[in-house]
Amino acid sequence: MFSAIRRRMRVSPAMVIAGLALVFAMSGGAYAAKKYLITSTKQISPSVLKALQGKAGKAGANGLPGVGGAQGPAGPAGPAGAGGPKGETGPAGVKGEKGPTGASGAKGVTGATGATGYTETLPSGKTETGTWSIYTQFVEPDFPGSLGSISFAIPLKGASEGTAYVFDLQETKNEEYERVIDSVKKPTGCTGSVTEPTAPRGVLCVYTANETLEGVEGHLEAHLRPAEFEGYGSSGAFLSGVGANEAPARIEANGTWAVTAP
C-alpha cells in the first residue's frame, strides 16, 4: 500500500524541509528551534537533497478534454490562385423543340415608283430582235414589187447602209450562214436560229421559219431601198428580191431577225 502511495507522490524540496523540521521538533523543540531551524533548501547539502529526491513517477493518464474555445475571427483572404487549364468541350446538348411561330410583322411602306427607262437609239453593241412575215400573190409575171418589211423598235444611230443577210428555210435549218463576198465564200457572222436569233455588231440577220414559193424565182434580200441596196437603215429594211416567173404565183414566209448596233 505504502509503495503504491509512494509511487503516486512526488517528493519536492518543500516536503523534505517540512519532514526535517518535524523530526527536529520531536527530538527537542527548543534546541531545534534555536540551533537548526531550516527555512530553505539552500541550508541542506546538495548530496543530501539528491539522496532524498525520489525518481519521477510515470505520467498520469490524460485528463478529459477541456471545453473548446470560441471561434477566432476569419483571416484575411489569400491571393487568387492561377487559372487552371481549360477543360474539354462537353458533348452537344439535345436539340430543343421548335418554338411557336411569331406574329406577322407590320406591312412595310410601299416604295416609290422608279423612273421609266427610255433610250432614243440602240446603244452600241446592244441587240434587238423581232419577227417578220410575208404573203404576196403575183397576178403578172416578172412583178418586182416589195414583198415585206422589218421595222426596228429602237432606231439605230447613224445606220444608213448597214450589212444585212436573209437566210431561206433550207439555209436556216442547216445553219448555212455563208455568202460569196469578193468572189470568195465567207462566214457572215450570223450564228443564231429562229428560236434564238443573233447578229454580230453592225449586221442584220434574218432567219426563215416557214417558206412556200410557187411560181417564183430568186432569193429574198433585205433592202434599204428595193432593188437598189442590200442592207438596212436606222429604222429597218424592206424584204424583196423574189420575182414571179409565171402567173399566178405566190410567196408565203415568216421568221425572226436580230440586229446589233455598230
pLDDT of residue 59: 79
Q: Is residue 39 part of a domain?
A: yes
| pLDDT value of position 30 | 45
Tell whether 76 is covered by a domain: no
Mean pLDDT for each consecutive 10-residue tract of the chain (262 residues)?
48 58 50 59 73 72 81 84 82 83 83 69 94 84 70 86 90 93 90 96 95 84 69 89 78 94 92
pLDDT at site 248: 81
pLDDT at 2: 44
How many domains does one find in the chain? 2
d(CA 169, CA 53): 150
- Would you say residue 31 lies in a domain? yes
Half-sphere exposure of 49 (CA within 13 A, CB side): 12
| 144 in the same domain as 34 | no
pLDDT reported for residue 135: 86
In a domain, 213, yes or no: yes
Q: Using an 8 Å Cβ cutoff, are 247 and 139 in contact?
A: yes
Is residue 132 located within the same domain as residue 256? Answer: yes
What is the domain extent for residue 203? Answer: 127-260
**Is 211 within 8 Å of 239 (Cβ atoms)?**
no
Q: What's the pLDDT score for residue 90?
A: 79
**Quick check: is 35 in a domain?**
yes
